[in-house]
C-alpha cells in the first residue's frame, strides 16, 4: 500500500492521540503516505481529509481527546453512506484505513473491508467492553480519573457520615465500575452483568456494616444500571443515613492519558500499520494474555466477553 488513512470513531478516549501519532509515524517509517479522516465515518463520507506528516502529530502524545475529532455517523450504517465513503477512498487514493474506536466502529470497518477497502481496527474506548481484547485505549486513564473523583467524594461523605451513590460510565458494561469500585473500597458495586436486590444486597449490608462502627459508605453504580437518585433515596429512607447521588459523567473521558494508555496506544497503532503495510486488512488488533496480536474482524465481533465473577465476588467479600 502507498497511501493509508487513520480515523477515530465513536466516543473519544484518552490515548487516541497517541495512537494517531503512532499510526502516522509508523506509516511514514514503512514508506507510506498517511492521511487523517476527520470526524470518523462522517468525514469519510464527506471527504473531510487532511494530509499528515511526522510533524502534524507533534505535541499530542500527552493530550486527551482526538486531534482528528470523532463522531457517531448513522448514515454509515446504510449502503448509500458506505458507497459514498468508498468513493472518497478512490478519489483520495486511500488503500487501507486504521479505524480507532469500539465495537460499533469495527462493524463499520468490517463493512468497508468487505467492499474492498481493507481496514484494521484498533480498540479505543474507556468502557473496555470489546470482547476480542483484554484492553482498550483509554480504560486506564478513565479508571484513574473516576478513582480520583471518588476519593474526593469520599472526603466529604466521611465528614458528613453520608452515603455516596456514584454513577460510573461504561455504556452497557460494568468493567469500569468494578475496577473503580474495588479501588475506592465501595460497599456495593452494582453492574448490569450481575443481578442484585437493593434491599438484600445493598441496604441490609449497609445496616450490618454500620452496626460494626462504619459511618460512611460508597455505592458504585454502573451507567448500565443507572437510577442513582432513586437508589440514594431508597438507602436514605431505609437506613436514615443521608445519601447523595453523583453522576461522574463525561469528565471520565477526558484528561492526559496515563503511561499505560500512551504505551498501549503506540503499540496497538504500530501493529495496525504493520498489517496494512503487508497488505493485510479486515483485522482487529488485540491484547491477549498481555501480548499484542490480531484477529479477523468477523471472528472478533462474534466473541462474547465474560464478566469476571471471581473478581466481583472478591470485591463483595472484602467490602465489609
Ligand atoms: P463505538 O465504536 O465506540 O462502539 P458506536 O457504536 O457509536 O461507537 O459506533 C461508531 C460508529 O460506527 C457509528 O456511528 C457508525 O458510523 C459505525 N457503526 C456502528 N455500528 C455499525 C454497524 N452495525 N454497521 C456499520 N457501521 C456501524
Ligand atoms: O463508549 C464511551 C462512552 O463514554 C460510554 O461510557 C457512554 O455510555 C457513552 O460513551 C456516552 O456517549 P455520549 O458521549 O454520546 O454521551
314 part of a folded domain? no
Residue 230: pLDDT band by 50, 70, 90 thresholds?
A: very high
Whether 156 and 264 share a structural domain: no
Would you list the DSSP string of 237-277? Answer: HHH---EEEEE-GGGGG-SPPPHHHHHHHHHHHHHHHHHHH
Report which of 121, 104, 234, 110 is spatially closest to residue 171, judged by C-alpha positions. 104
Whether 176 and 99 share a structural domain: no
- Measuring from each residue's beta carbon to the nearest atom of ligand 1, which residues come in under 6 Å? 9-11, 41, 72-73, 76-77, 101-105, 107-108, 111, 125
- Please report which ligand is nearest the Cα atom of 177: 2
For 22, the 3-state DSSP assignment is helix
Range of the domain at 224: 140-250
> Catalytic annotation on 111?
no
Write down the pLDDT at residue 222: 98
**Rounded distance between C-alpha atoms, residue 169 and residue 125, angstroms:** 11
Query: Which of 12, 127, 140, 261 is labelled catalytic?
Result: 127
Q: What are phi and psi of 250, to 5 degrees?
A: -70, -15
Query: Mean pLDDT, to the nearest integer, of 30-45?
Result: 98
Our count of domains for the chain comes to: 2
- Please report which ligand is nearest the Cα atom of 142: 2
26 part of a folded domain? yes
Query: Mean pLDDT, to the nearest integer, of 28-52?
Result: 98
50 part of a folded domain? yes
Domain boundary residue, one of 250, 269, 285? 250
Whether 30 and 60 share a structural domain: yes
Residue 144: pLDDT band by 50, 70, 90 thresholds?
A: very high
Q: Residue 294's domain is classified under what CATH number?
A: 3.40.50.450
103 part of a folded domain? yes
Write down the pLDDT at residue 270: 98
Nearest-5° Cα angle at 313, 309 to 319? 145
- What does pTM read for this prediction? 0.97
209-228 confidence digits (pLDDT tens): 999 999 999 999 999 999 99
Continuous H helices in the chain: 16-29, 40-46, 79-92, 103-114, 139-160, 175-183, 204-210, 228-239, 259-277, 297-302, 309-318
Query: Mean pLDDT, to the nearest integer, of 4-14?
Result: 98
Whether 54 and 98 share a structural domain: yes
Write down the pLDDT at residue 116: 96
Whether 201 and 288 share a structural domain: no
310 part of a folded domain? no
Query: Mean pLDDT, to the nearest integer, of 10-26?
Result: 98
The number of angstroms, rounded, from the C-alpha of 154 to the middle of its chain's C-alpha atoms is 25
Which residues does 108 contact at the CB level (< 8 Å), separation at least 6? Answer: 9, 41, 76, 77, 99
Whether 134 and 146 share a structural domain: no
317 part of a folded domain? no
Q: Given ligand 2 and candidates 71, 169, 180, 223, which is best to mutate, with the most ligand atoms within 8 Å of its CB?
A: 169
The three-state DSSP-derived secondary structure of 203-246 is HHHHHHHHCCCCCCEEEEEECCCCCHHHHHHHHHHHHCCCEEEE
Domain boundary residue, one of 250, 265, 287? 250
Whether 165 and 184 share a structural domain: yes
Whether 19 and 144 share a structural domain: no
Cell of 53: 506528516
Residue nearest to atom 19 of ligand 1 (CA): 104
286: enclosing H helix or E strand: strand 283-288
First to last CA, the chain: 58
* Ligand 2 site, residue 170, Cβ cutoff 6 A: yes
261-310 confidence digits (pLDDT tens): 999 999 999 999 999 999 999 999 999 999 999 999 999 999 999 999 99
Q: Residue 213's domain is classified under what CATH number?
A: 3.40.50.460
315 part of a folded domain? no
Cell of 306: 465474560
CB contact at 8 A, 121 and 284: yes
Closest atom of ligand 2 relative to the 102 alpha carbon: 1
Query: Mean pLDDT, to the nearest integer, of 70-90?
Result: 97
Whether 28 and 119 share a structural domain: yes
The chain-wide mean pLDDT, for the chain, equals 98
Whether 122 and 270 share a structural domain: yes
Cell of 137: 485505549
157-209 confidence digits (pLDDT tens): 999 999 999 999 999 999 999 999 999 999 999 999 999 999 999 999 999 99
Amino acid at each position: 500500500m502507498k497511501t493509508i488513512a487513520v480515523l477515530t470513531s465513536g466516543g473519544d478516549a484518552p490515548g487516541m492521540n497517541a495512537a494517531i501519532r503512532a499510526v502516522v509515524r509508523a506509516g511514514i517509517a514503512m514508506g507510506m503516505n498517511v492521511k487523517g479522516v476527520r470526524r470518523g465515518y462522517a468525514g469519510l463520507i464527506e471527504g473531510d481529509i487532511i494530509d499528515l506528516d511526522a510533524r502534524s502529530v507533534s505535541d499530542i502524545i500527552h493530550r486527551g481527546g482526538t486531534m482528528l475529532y470523532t463522531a457517531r455517523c448513522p448514515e454509515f450504517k446504510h449502503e448509500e453512506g458506505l458507497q459514498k465513503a468508498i468513493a472518497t477512498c478512490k478519489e483520495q487514493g486511500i488503500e487501507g484505513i486504521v479505524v480507532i474506536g469500539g465495537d460499533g466502529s469495527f462493524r463499520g470497518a468490517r463493512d468497508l473491508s468487505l467492499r474492498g477497502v481493507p481496514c484494521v481496527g484498533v480498540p479505543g474506548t474507556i468502557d473496555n467492553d470489546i470482547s476480542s481484547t483484554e484492553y482498550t485505549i483509554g480504560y486506564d486513564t478513565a479508571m484513574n480519573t473516576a478513582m480520583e473523583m471518588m476519593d474526593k467524594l469520599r472526603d466529604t461523605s466521611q465528614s458528613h457520615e453520608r452515603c455516596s451513590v456514584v454513577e460510573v460510565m461504561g455504556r452497557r458494561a460494568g468493567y469500569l465500575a468494578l475496577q473503580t469500585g474495588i479501588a475506592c473500597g465501595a460497599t456495593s458495586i452494582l453492574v448490569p452483568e450481575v443481578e442484585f436486590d437493593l434491599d438484600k444486597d445493598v441496604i441490609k449490608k449497609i445496616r450490618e456494616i454500620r452496626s460494626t462502627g462504619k459511618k460512611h459508605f460508597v455505592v458504585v453504580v454502573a451507567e448500565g444500571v443507572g437510577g442513582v437518585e432513586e437508589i440514594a433515596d431508597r438507602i436514605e429512607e431505609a437506613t436514615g443515613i443521608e445519601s447523595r447521588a453523583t453522576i461522574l459523567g463525561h469528565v471520565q473521558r477526558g484528561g492526559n492519558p496515563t503511561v499505560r494508555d500512551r504505551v498501549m496506544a503506540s503499540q496497538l497503532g504500530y501493529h495496525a500499520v504493520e498489517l496494512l503495510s503487508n497488505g493485510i486488512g479486515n483485522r482487529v488488533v488485540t491484547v491477549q494474555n498481555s501480548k499484542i496480536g490480531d484477529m479477523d474482524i468477523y471472528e472478533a465481533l462474534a466473541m462474547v466477553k465474560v464478566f469476571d465473577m471471581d473478581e466481583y465476588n472478591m470485591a463483595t467479600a472484602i467490602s465489609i
